[in-house]
Every structure is written in structure tokens, then in C-alpha cells.
């Protein structure tokens, strides 16, 4: 736990069987869409793997909204970073959050189970990005794709494509990895050619 603490980017603030949401410790410091992150359960200690599918920044106050600050009624105008320079309190009143769909769990070493864990991540426990080595270990199987493709109320096709592009970057032969991924997608989506084509195009355009 202590060895992983410097790498943490936030903590779990909402947790369920299928997904979790984390608040970041630094404004706008959410991991990229499609990236692999990890959280933990309290008892027994289990590493939960999730794929980031949503990122948002809003007011910390329940039901609150961010206020317009780029132009005052007196006519003074501020642009982009000038707004943050003039309002150093913004990082204290805003919060960045990201949500991840749970796609597996394991012991944090070599063993990975590509199905839902017995318990979801523990509230207020650390959330950290997975290292390239961890991502490579996780992506040795394409079993996670079925979970993503069957998920509802998330941009599942965009997420599948973004995740595969990200995983391919850590492979010794990215093209071979993406070809293998395309074959798995074809097997999963053999009854939906249009959807398969759309995902493959997203993978190709993002290379």
C-alpha cells in the first residue's frame, strides 16, 4: 500500500458491482478516456481493474454549478488560464471526477480474472493508473471486450476502440496486437457487421 501511495491520483467516492467513480486530488488530473486504472477492496485485499469511460469537472457543492468568470458586469474580460490566475480558489471549489467500468480483478501480480469481483472497491480507497507493465499483463487476453461491448449507458464502442489503441502502444508489435483484437471483435460481433466496422474504423483512425 505505501509503495503505491505516491502514484495515487484520487479516491473512490462512489462504488458499485459494475463500476466506480473517483474524485481526483488535482483539478483536471483524470486519467485519459479508455485507460486502465485500479482500486482495491478492504477485505480480502483485491485489486479491481477498471476502464475510464467518463470524465467530468463540476462544482464540489451538491447541485452546484460552475459560475461564468470570463467577463464581469463592469466589462472586464479574462480568457482561459487568466481566469484561473485571477481566481486561485477555483481548485478548491471545483472537483474533477472520472468513472470506470469494472472489467476484472486479481492479486496485483500475474493473476487476472476477467469477470466481476465478489465485492466492489472500498469507498475512499486509493485509485491509481496502471503501469505499462500492468496494462500489458491485463491485455494479454481480450476477454474484457465482452464486458465493454455488452455494457449499457456508456459509450461502449468508443471505449473499446480507445482501450485497444492505448493497449497497443505498450505492445512490441502494435499492428499485430490490433489485428488480433480485430479478430476477437469479429467473433463477438459476428451478427452485427455495421457495429464491428464502426469500431474497427475508430481504431484505425486513432493509430
- Tens digit of each residue's pLDDT (9 = 90 or more) over 87-143: 899 999 999 999 999 999 998 777 899 999 999 999 999 999 999 999 999 999 999
Q: Of 98-102, 120-124, 179-183, 203-207, give the lowest mean pLDDT range.
A: 203-207
Rounded CA-CA distance 16/193 in Å is: 32
Q: What is the pLDDT of residue 6?
A: 47
What is the pTM (predicted TM-score) of this model? 0.91
Is it the case that residue 207 has pLDDT exceeding 60?
no
Determine the longest span between alpha carbons in the chain, in angstroms: 62
Is it the case that residue 1 has pLDDT exceeding 70?
no
Of residues 6 and 100, more confidence is placed in: 100
Residue 100: what are its φ and ψ, rounded to 5°?
Answer: -135, 135
Of residues 75 and 51, more confidence is placed in: 51
Name the grid cell of 180. 488480433
Rounded CA-CA distance 44/46 in Å is: 6
Q: What is the pLDDT of residue 107?
A: 81
Compute the mean pLDDT over every residue in the chain, rounded to the nearest whole number: 92
Is it the case that residue 9 has pLDDT exceeding 90?
yes
Instruction: Give buried/exposed letters for 7-42 (b at 16+ CB in 10 A, else e).
Output: ebbbbbeebeeebbbbbbeeeeebbebbbbbbbbbe
Rounded CA-CA distance 11/123 in Å is: 8
Q: Can you tell me whether residue 163 is helix, strand or coil?
A: helix
Among candidate residues 112, 99, 117, 116, the one with its CA nearest the CA of residue 52: 99
Percentage of the chain beyond pLDDT 90 is 81
Q: What is the pLDDT of residue 71?
A: 86
Q: Of 60-69, 80-89, 145-154, give the lowest mean pLDDT range.
A: 60-69
Amino acid at each position: 500500500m505505501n509503495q503505491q501511495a505516491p502514484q495515487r491520483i484520487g479516491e473512490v467516492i462512489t462504488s458499485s458491482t459494475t463500476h466506480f467513480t473517483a474524485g481526483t486530488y488535482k483539478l483536471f488530473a483524470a486519467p485519459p478516456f479508455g485507460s486502465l486504472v485500479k482500486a482495491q477492496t478492504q477485505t480480502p485485499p483485491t485489486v479491481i481493474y477498471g476502464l475510464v469511460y467518463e470524465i467530468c469537472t463540476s462544482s464540489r457543492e451538491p447541485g452546484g454549478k460552475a459560475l461564468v468568470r470570463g467577463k464581469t458586469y463592469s466589462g472586464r474580460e479574462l480568457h482561459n488560464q487568466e481566469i484561473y490566475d485571477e481566481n486561485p480558489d477555483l481548485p478548491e471549489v471545483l472537483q474533477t471526477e472520472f468513472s470506470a467500468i469494472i472489467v476484472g480483478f486479481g492479486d496485483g501480480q500475474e493473476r487476472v480474472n476477467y469477470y466481476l469481483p465478489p465485492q466492489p472497491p472500498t469507498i475512499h480507497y486509493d485509485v491509481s493508473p496502471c503501469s505499462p507493465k500492468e496494462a500489458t499483463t491485463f491485455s494479454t487476453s481480450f476477454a474484457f471486450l465482452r464486458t465493454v461491448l455488452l455494457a449499457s449507458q456508456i459509450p461502449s464502442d468508443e471505449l473499446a476502440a480507445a482501450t485497444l489503441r492505448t493497449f497497443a502502444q505498450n505492445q512490441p508489435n502494435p499492428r499485430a496486437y490490433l489485428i488480433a483484437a480485430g479478430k476477437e471483435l469479429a467473433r463477438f460481433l459476428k451478427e452485427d457487421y455495421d457495429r464491428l466496422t464502426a469500431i474497427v474504423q475508430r481504431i484505425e483512425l486513432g493509430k
